[in-house]
Each structure stands twice: as C-alpha cells, then as structure tokens.
Amino acid sequence: MIFTHLARKNGAASTFALAIALATGGVIGAAAIETPAFAQKKSKPKYSKAFIATYQPLEVIATTEPLDYPALKAGFPGLIAATENNDDRYAAGSFIYSNAAKQQDQAVALQGMELMLQSGNVPEENIGQFNFVAGQLAYAAEDYAKARPYFQASADAGYTDNDPLIFVAESYFAEDQAQQGLTYLSDLINAKVAAGEPVDEAWLKRGLAQAYNNNLNAEANKYSSWYVTQYPGEDSWGDAVAILLNTGGYENPEILDLLRLGKRVGVLRDGKLYLEYVDAADYRRLPAEVVSVIDEGYEKGFLDRTDPYVTDTRRQAAERTAADRADMDGLIADANKAGATINTVLAAGDTLLSHDRPADAETFYTKALTIPGANTAMIMTRLGIAQFDQGQFAEAEATFNKVEGARKPIANLWAIYTAQQAADTM
C-alpha cells in the first residue's frame, strides 16, 4: 500500500469531492424560480368553465390565513382532472407548483412543474430554467431516470446556470452507475476539448473522484490526464501521481520513474512518498539519487533527521556515491565497448542519470535500444527523462509518446508535463 493521502479509498472522496448543491429542503422553495403569473402570458388565456369552477374555491383556501395546506392539496387532483386545454394546464401547474414549493412538498411541486411544461405555454426564455427545476425536484425525490431528461432539456434550451449537464452525470452516480456516468461525462469533455473550449474543473474533479472510488483505473488515469492538462498545479499533479501510484500495480522500476516525475513537478507531499522513492531507487543501485531524495525530504520537513533507517540509508548511499564517482570512467569505458551487454549499458545510463549527467545518460539509453533483449518501454521512458533533464522538450515528448504497455500511463503524464514545460519556455 502506498501511504499517500489517497491511499485509503474511504478518504479519497474528500480530496476530489465536488459540492453539488442539490435542490433539497430550503433550497427549493417559492424562490427557486419566479413562476410567471397568469397575467404575464403574452396572449389572454382562455380557461374552460369547469376549470374556473374548480379553481376558484381552491384560490380562496390558498389566500386564507392560516393556510390549510392539507385541504388545498386534497383539491389538486380535482383541479388537474378539470383541465381541458393548455391554458388550464399551465394555470393549474403554476398554482400547484407555487403552493407546494412554499410548503417544501417537492413531489407535488414536481407535478405542478410538469403540468406547466406539458402545456407548451412556458415562455421560451424560461424553458431551460423550468426544466432545470423539474430535474432538481425529480433528483431530490431520487427518481434519477426522470431527472435526466429534464436536465438534458434544460441544457438543450441554453440554460447554463447551475450547470445542468453535470446533474445528468450525477444522476448516474447516484444510482451507483459510475461507468455510465463517466461515459456521459467523458463525451461532454471530449466535445469541449475538440471545440478548443475549457472544461469545467468541477467536471474533471468529480469524474476523477468517481473513477478512483469505484476502482475504474483506466478512467481514473484518463481523468487525471485531463485534469493536469486543463488545470496544471500542485493539487492536480499531486493527485495524478498518487492515483497512478496507488492503482498501477507497479514494481520498483516503474515506481521509480513515476516518482521521478513527482519530484520534478514538486508534488511529493509526504514522508511516505519519499521513503517509497528511496526504496524504489535502492541505495545499492542508485546511491546518488537516494542521497538527493533524502536530502530533499529533510529540507521540506517530510523526513525525520533522527530516524535511524533514513540516516543509516543516507550514510551508506553517500559512501556508495563516492565509490560510483571513482569507478565512473571504468563503467563508461565498459559500456562503450562494442560487445557490451545490455546490463552494462543500462547500468551506465542509470548511473549517469542519477548523477545529473543526462546528456551522457542519453547516449547509453540510445545504445541500449539497439541491443537484443532490451526492455524497450523502460529504456524509452528513461531516455525521455534524460532528454527532459537537458531541456530537449520536443524530443522528450516524442520519446514519451512512443512508450507502450504498462508504462504508457506513466509516460503519458511525463509527456503532458514536458509539453507544459516547453510552453513555459516559449
């Protein structure tokens, strides 16, 4: 288990949680929308005689204080039954909605809103808003299948307040249909990206939370990539690295290259991550890098200078670093030989990279790719890192984009960060 702030699934939601203001309790009331009064209609309504006869006594009850709401509510079915035309329906719906909403009677308020929408008399400029409120009411009643088309109709009508489309995705999430919700949300995001439009950060955070909490690892990686692309920063990058660390099922070689990214971005945010990095680098293999990681952990206050494991590891790593430097010329000479083995050439590349000599490391990673039996994905990843460390961002991005297999998500994050660094230098 990687002990980051994302390691425990139960705590992960708080990292990404999106506060969706659902229409419940006091949120939905008479002030939820301004229901147009009958006199506001563009043409004079024509009510049926039966409807007027049924409506008038109910209006008396509605305007008498104190309000006898149970008696008023008991008359609503008869009012609906008395409707004969769309003007009747609109008027009945408005009357039912406004009175039920004041009493927080959401189920009945929804009936009233549906009547208004069914009448066809809702002013065009209010159609999106009315559909949104209908969706809220259905959502509050946990009738998510009914809520979805109302939210969609609200968006289709051009209503953008309160972001109705996210509620469509939320309706799937509320039904524990995480994959369906993520598929819907992904389609929205893809459309935004294709149009060159910014994606709402709330969409990305919500999708990331749902994917992670429901163990949909491929979706989590996709949303992480979107998040760091659209909103690069400490939070997005820290979450992306931590999520991939927790879900990738990686061994030390992959963990090392992922945490190398975290170190360069500056998002190793607790001592457990630094210790994970120390273990992945291994002071017997890459002692110089271990010293660098521990010293950074000390400097940032994430590692305890009195911890005997850390202090002993650093001491041994420092001793081996000195030995590495003394033997470096011999290692390079061996790796340069025509018949050098893949292990010798890789050792040279890895050692040089950990000693902050990326240009020399690049030479040996390039050579390693020509040797039969080479772990191409690993070497390409590290070749890209060597190019990145030299500021060769275009070359590094191209290299990372060639990585396939289990390492592809790691290389993808590297490629995104490389492109961002390149943009910052232009």
pLDDT, tens digit, for every residue of 276-323?
A: 999 999 999 999 999 999 999 999 999 999 999 999 999 999 999 999
pLDDT for the residue 185: 96
35 domain-assigned: yes
Q: Are residues 273 and 389 located together in one domain of the fold?
A: yes
DSSP character string of 328-378: HHHHHHHHHSTT--HHHHHHHHHHHHHTT-HHHHHHHHHHHTTSTT--HHH
Q: Are residues 263 and 154 located together in one domain of the fold?
A: no
How many angstroms separate the CA atoms of 18 and 188, rounded?
A: 17
Range 389-413 average pLDDT: 97
Instruction: Give the tokens for residue 352.
Output: 């040089």
Q: Are residues 404 and 269 located together in one domain of the fold?
A: yes
Q: Are residues 409 and 271 located together in one domain of the fold?
A: yes
Q: Are residues 265 and 127 located together in one domain of the fold?
A: no
How many angstroms separate the CA atoms of 161 and 154, rounded?
A: 10
Q: Are residues 29 and 151 located together in one domain of the fold?
A: yes
234-253: pLDDT as tens digits: 999 999 999 999 999 999 99
Q: State yes or no: pLDDT of 425 exceeds 70.
A: yes
Q: Residue 283 is part of which domain span?
A: 250-424
Predicted confidence band at 86 (pLDDT cuts at 50, 70, 90)?
very high
Predicted confidence band at 2 (pLDDT cuts at 50, 70, 90)?
very low
Q: Are residues 150 and 264 located together in one domain of the fold?
A: no
CATH of residue 324's domain is 1.25.40
CB 293 within 8 A of CB 271: no
Instruction: Give the tokens for residue 222.
Output: 């996709």
Nearest to 167 by CA among 180, 150, 179: 150
Phi-psi region of 386 (alpha: psi -120 to 50; beta: other; left: phi over 0): alpha
pLDDT for the residue 163: 84
pLDDT for the residue 162: 83
Q: Are residues 132 and 263 located together in one domain of the fold?
A: no
74 domain-assigned: yes
In total, the chain counts a number of residues equal to 426
Q: State yes or no: pLDDT of 82 exceeds 80.
A: yes
Task: Specify the range with the lowest mean pLDDT, choosing from 8-17, 122-131, 209-218, 290-299.
Answer: 8-17
107-136: pLDDT as tens digits: 999 999 999 999 999 999 999 999 999 999
365 domain-assigned: yes
Q: State yes or no: pLDDT of 416 exceeds 70.
A: yes
Range 384-409 average pLDDT: 97
DSSP state, residue 405: G
pTM, two decimal places:
0.81
Predicted confidence band at 160 (pLDDT cuts at 50, 70, 90)?
confident
Nearest to 33 by CA among 125, 121, 120, 107: 125
**DSSP E strands: which ranges in 132-178?**
none
Sign of CA dihedral 261, 264, 265, 267: positive
Q: Count Cβ atoms below 10 Å from residue 422 Cβ, excluding itself.
A: 16
Predicted confidence band at 42 (pLDDT cuts at 50, 70, 90)?
low
CB 293 within 8 A of CB 267: no
Range 85-109 average pLDDT: 93
pLDDT for the residue 9: 30
How many angstroms separate the CA atoms of 68 and 220, rounded?
A: 53
8 domain-assigned: no
Question: For a pLDDT cut of 90, what percent of the chain falls above it?
Answer: 86
Tally of domains within the chain? 2
| Domain-terminating residue out of 161, 192, 208 | 161
213 domain-assigned: no
Q: State yes or no: pLDDT of 392 exceeds 90.
A: yes
How many angstroms separate the CA atoms of 160 and 164, rounded?
A: 7
401 domain-assigned: yes
CB 416 within 8 A of CB 264: no
Q: State yes or no: pLDDT of 37 exceeds 70.
A: no
pLDDT for the residue 403: 98
Task: Specify the range with the lowest mean pLDDT, choosing from 17-21, 154-158, 162-166, 252-256.
Answer: 17-21
Predicted confidence band at 22 (pLDDT cuts at 50, 70, 90)?
very low
| Domain-terminating residue out of 145, 161, 177 | 161
Q: Are residues 139 and 273 located together in one domain of the fold?
A: no
Q: Are residues 259 and 152 located together in one domain of the fold?
A: no
How many angstroms separate the CA atoms of 29 and 100, rounded?
A: 8
Rounded alpha-carbon distances, angstroms, from residue 77 to 49, 58, 82, 93, 133: 17, 11, 9, 11, 21
Give me the chain's average pLDDT, please.
88
343 domain-assigned: yes
Instruction: Give the tokens for residue 256.
Output: 């090392």
Q: Are residues 137 and 259 located together in one domain of the fold?
A: no
| Domain-terminating residue out of 109, 129, 161 | 161
Range 190-199 average pLDDT: 92
pLDDT for the residue 30: 26
Q: Are residues 269 and 147 located together in one domain of the fold?
A: no
Instruction: Give the tokens for residue 98.
Output: 């406004």
243 domain-assigned: no
Predicted confidence band at 411 (pLDDT cuts at 50, 70, 90)?
very high
